[in-house]
């Protein structure tokens, strides 16, 4: 009788459009009504920075293998990328302490506690995860899958004995 109504803002691109349509289709199954606002990319990010949105999909790709890469986005001092405006003094304190801690086990524990706060308060909702797909022939050597998804061609070779 009283469905949740959300407006999904998104930047103009075919992939973004497909994603928000899929999200809306999925949410419809649980009774959520979704409207859309499509914007040119610069306008979209300006709108996010002004925090003039209800819900909006954005992406982030970790450029190094560390939980801080994602948790940093929720620190109140990370103004430029903290689009949700999340501010929690306990979270910020844990992240600051983690940044100063040299003991890796203790540092991981601090970030685990910070992550628990973020999961409890839910300033962001992870909805999709990027994937990479490659079809590599068995005769190609030097291909090593890795979390950075970096595959310098200088290491790749075609093993001509395997071609036959």
Percentage of the residues of the chain whose pLDDT score is greater than 90 = 71
In sequence order, what are the residues at sequence separation of 6 or more whose Cβ sits closer than 8 angstroms to the Cβ of residue 119?
none
Please tell me whether the overall predicted TM-score, pTM, comes out greater than 0.95 for this model. no
Given a cut of 90, whether residue 150 has pLDDT beyond it is no
137/151 Cα distance (integer angstroms): 15
140 membership: H or E segment, kind and range: strand 140-141
Say what the pLDDT of residue 164 is: 62
Average confidence (pLDDT) over 127-144: 86
Mean pLDDT of the chain: 92
Average confidence (pLDDT) over 122-142: 86
Say what the pLDDT of residue 145 is: 85
Say what the pLDDT of residue 1 is: 84
Given a cut of 70, whether residue 68 has pLDDT beyond it is yes
Inter-helix orientation angle 89-100/104-121, to 10°: 160
115/1 Cα distance (integer angstroms): 36
19/22 Cα distance (integer angstroms): 5
21/132 Cα distance (integer angstroms): 21
Give the alpha-carbon dihedral of 37, 40, 46, 51, to 10 degrees: 10
């Amino acid at each position: 009788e009283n469905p949740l109504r959300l407006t999904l803002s998104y930047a103009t691109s075919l992939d973004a459009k497909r994603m928000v349509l899929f999200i809306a289709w999925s949410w419809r199954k649980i009774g959520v009504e979704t409207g859309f606002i499509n914007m040119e990319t610069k306008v979209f990010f300006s709108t996010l920075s002004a925090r003039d949105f209800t819900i909006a999909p954005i992406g982030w790709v970790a450029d190094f293998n560390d939980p801080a890469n994602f948790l940093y986005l929720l620190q109140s001092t990370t103004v430029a990328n903290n689009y949700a405006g999340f501010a929690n003094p306990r979270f910020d304190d844990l992240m600051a302490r983690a940044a100063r801690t040299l003991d890796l086990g203790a540092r991981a524990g601090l970030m685990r506690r910070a992550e628990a706060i973020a999961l409890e308060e839910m300033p962001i909702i992870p909805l999709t995860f990027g994937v990479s797909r490659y079809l590599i022939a068995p005769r190609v050597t030097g291909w090593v899958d890795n979390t950075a998804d970096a595959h310098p061609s200088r290491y790749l070779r075609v093993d001509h004995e395997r071609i036959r």
